[in-house]
Each structure stands twice: as C-alpha cells, then as structure tokens.
Amino acid sequence: MALFDDTFTPYHPFGSRNLSSGATGTDVAVLRAVYDLMLEVMNPPKGPMGSPIPITKVYDAAAVQAVKNIQSYFGLSVDGIAGPNTYFVFGQGVGSRTTFGGPVYGSRQLSEGDTGGDVTILQNRLNCFRYASLIGGPADGVFGPNTASAVRAFKQDAEANGDTGFPDNTIAGYGFYDASWLYTFAGGRAIDTGRDGFDVVFVQVVLEDLGYYSGRITGYYDAATRAAVMAFQTAQGITADGVVGPVTFYRIGIRNNVPAPSPLPVAWPAAPVPMVTVCSVGLTSQTSDVHPYGAATLVINEAEGFESLDVVGNMLNPPSNYGNFNAYRFTLTDPVTGNVIERINMVLTTSSSNPGDWAGTFSPGVKTIPQGTVSVYPVNTTSGNIGPLLLRGSLQYCH
C-alpha cells in the first residue's frame, strides 16, 4: 500500500464494483480525484461539466451528481451509479468491456514473468510518459526486466508527488494501481472513433503540447482529434490509422519524456471541503389533469466561484401525451421582464417513463445565476415547439 490507499481505506480496486450511495473506499477517492482533475483541464463545448468536489472516500450526493454529470456528458444512461459503462470513459475496462484480452487491470499483483492483457495496460500507461525509454518499445503483455525498471521509476515519481509509502520493489501492487489511475490517464484501451472519455482528454492535451492539435479539450474522439492523431502517427513513421493503441502510446511517451504528473493537490488525509451554499425550492404542478412535482436546486461553490442550477421533474408523463413532443425542457426567466435567461433540455433519469423523472443542469461556469422563475414544459427538440406549462417555481429566495 501507499499513503493514498492508507488514507482512504478500505482498499477496493478501481472498477471492481458498482458504486452507489453509501459506498466507501479507495475506488471512490480515485473517482473523485480524477473527476476534479478533468474539470481543470477540459473545455467542454457546453460549459463546465459540473463543479469540483472534495476528495473523500464516501460515495455521497456530490459523487452521485458528479457521475451523473459524466454520464450525461458522454451520452450514457444517467443513473448516478458508477458501473462498467462509466468506468469505460475513465479508460478502465471491466466485465464485458475488459480490454486486451484480460485479466482486468488492477485485479492482481504483477511482477516479472507475468503475462496478460493487464500487463499490456500497465505498459501502455507507463509508455505515455518518460518510462517509455525504460520499457523500450510498445506494450507486448510480457512483464520483463525493462517493465520492472519502469515500475520502480514510476513509484519513485509517485513518492515525489507526495504519495509516499511504496514498497521498494518492482511489483505492481495495489498502491501502485491507485497511483497509476491518479497519475496516468490513458492506455487502458485502444482509442478510436466512438470511444470518448478521459483518456481522450489526455491524448488531446499531449497532442496540443506537441503541436498537432488545436481544438477544444473535450474528451470526444471527433474528426479533428483523429486527424491530429494521424498527423502525429505520420510524423513518427508508424501506421497512420487514427487508432491510439500500444504503438502510438509508446511513440507519445518517447516525445512526452516527462514523469507522470501529480494530480490535483491531495491534502492528507483529505482535501478541505469547499464552501458550498445549497438552496432548493419546490416546483409545483400547474395543471389539473396530472400532478407532477419537482425541485430547482441552486448550488453556489463560494471557494471556486462556480454556480449550477439543477432542476428535477418527478412523475412526468411521457411528453408525447401532450402532442408532438419528445422531451422536457426547463427555462429560467427574468421575474420582472419575463425574458428567457436560459433554456435547458432535460433527460429521463428513471427506467420507467410512464410516468418518469426528468432532470437537467444549467452550469454557466464562473458566473452568477440570477434570480428568476423556473418553468418545465414538454418540447420537441427538433422543431423547438413547446407544450403546456407543467411545473413552476421561483429562485428569488435563493439570493
């Protein structure tokens, strides 16, 4: 073990279980730390993907909301539970998504002589940094002496980052795994079109630093990112197929000859909790034929300067009940002029849609969300047509 693991006990390998409210352990702390780091470096096209959360070992309401933000951003089913599909956007393949033939990365200790897909991932992750020169080539799934040297060098760098307490050996043990999830962000899977995630963020950042990519840091493996990868592959004299696999990871590390970075500053035993103000107002039904209810929650992170408005509508009948509508939308309007400040489409968050719960978030970044009236309507997302008013509430008492 190492200091991170001793701090956030009990130890659970990242991805080894589904995470839901009440879970505690190192895997929760890893998820929270990586989420915070990605918020710092990403530049989402629709604004910040939520606000930073304190790094703790508890899967609380803040962690649930963070996972919902991740799921919504990457087009997954939004349930707030960290399962295989959510882990996959972290670059961790488990269950049916296990990569490179298995075993699952982090499921066993690795040392010289071991072989397998988890060794391939270990080598890929280290190959993205200075350790590529120690390994000496693309991942081959064989834990040889060169890989052992790279593991030792990585541990030394992790100690320098403040994650002290690693055994002085070349074994990839459980403390090593948490450090690798915290300090290396790609290599757990091959990246190609359709595989969006935080490992794509790393690729975009590195290729931007190397002069091949100039777009937004989104985590989406889009046409611009693929073109940058192909340009890099061509310059490196390797197959320019746009797929980021073991050969490309290795060539990235040869050019990115730096130690694996420290994550967000993690104060031991835990990061301080930011000053957060939460105000929630009820949304009341405006119709006589159905009786939905809901809430609008304004979250003000005073330390970071971020604000977000989370709106939930409960027991809403399918939007098609009101005509040619396929979703729900909430609006925030000025209470004096009636002008619309923001329109946000909502997503179904329950497995049942008859009736179901819908939710949406307005996160304008480092801006103040003004007082106003929150209203929920059925909407046709193609035509923009809206139906009857179903829910309404006022934010004026939150300021």
Q: How far apart are CA 294 and CA 32, in angstroms?
A: 28
The pLDDT of residue 267 is: 43
The pLDDT of residue 272 is: 42
The pLDDT of residue 269 is: 39
Query: By the 8 A CB rule, do 313 and 391 touch?
Result: yes
- Count CA atoms within 13 Å of residue 194 on its CB side: 0
Long-range contacts (CB closer than 8 Å, 24 or more residues apart) made by 217-224? 217/41, 217/42, 217/43, 218/42, 218/43, 218/44, 218/45, 219/38, 219/42, 219/44, 219/73, 219/74, 219/89, 220/196, 221/191, 221/192, 221/193, 221/194, 221/195, 221/196
Orientation angle between helical segments 26-41 and 61-73, nearest 10 degrees = 50
Work out the number of other CB atoms within 10 angstroms of the CB of residue 104.
22
Q: What pTM, to 2 d.p., does this model score?
A: 0.68
Q: What is the mean pLDDT of residues 98-111?
A: 95
Smallest CA-to-CA distance from 57 within 17, 13, 22 is with: 22
SS (H, E, C) 26-46: HHHHHHHHHHHHHHHHCCCCC
Domains (range + CATH), the chain: 3-255 (no CATH), 276-398 (2.60.40)
pLDDT at residue 175 above 90? no
Instruction: For the chain, give the mean pLDDT.
Output: 89
Question: Tens of pLDDT along 73-88?
Answer: 999 999 999 999 999 9
Confidence of residue 212 (pLDDT cuts 50, 70, 90): very high
The pLDDT of residue 49 is: 87
- The β-bridge partners of 26 are none
Q: What is the mean pLDDT of residues 5-20?
A: 91
The answer for 113, left when phi > 0, alpha when psi is -120 to 50, beta otherwise, is left
pLDDT at residue 264 above 80? no
Which range is least confidently modeled, 19-33, 43-57, 369-383?
43-57
Q: What is the mean pLDDT of residues 363-387?
A: 87
Query: By the 8 A CB rule, do 204 and 218 touch?
Result: yes
Query: By the 8 A CB rule, do 343 and 328 touch?
Result: no
Q: How far apart are CA 339 and CA 290, in angstroms?
A: 27
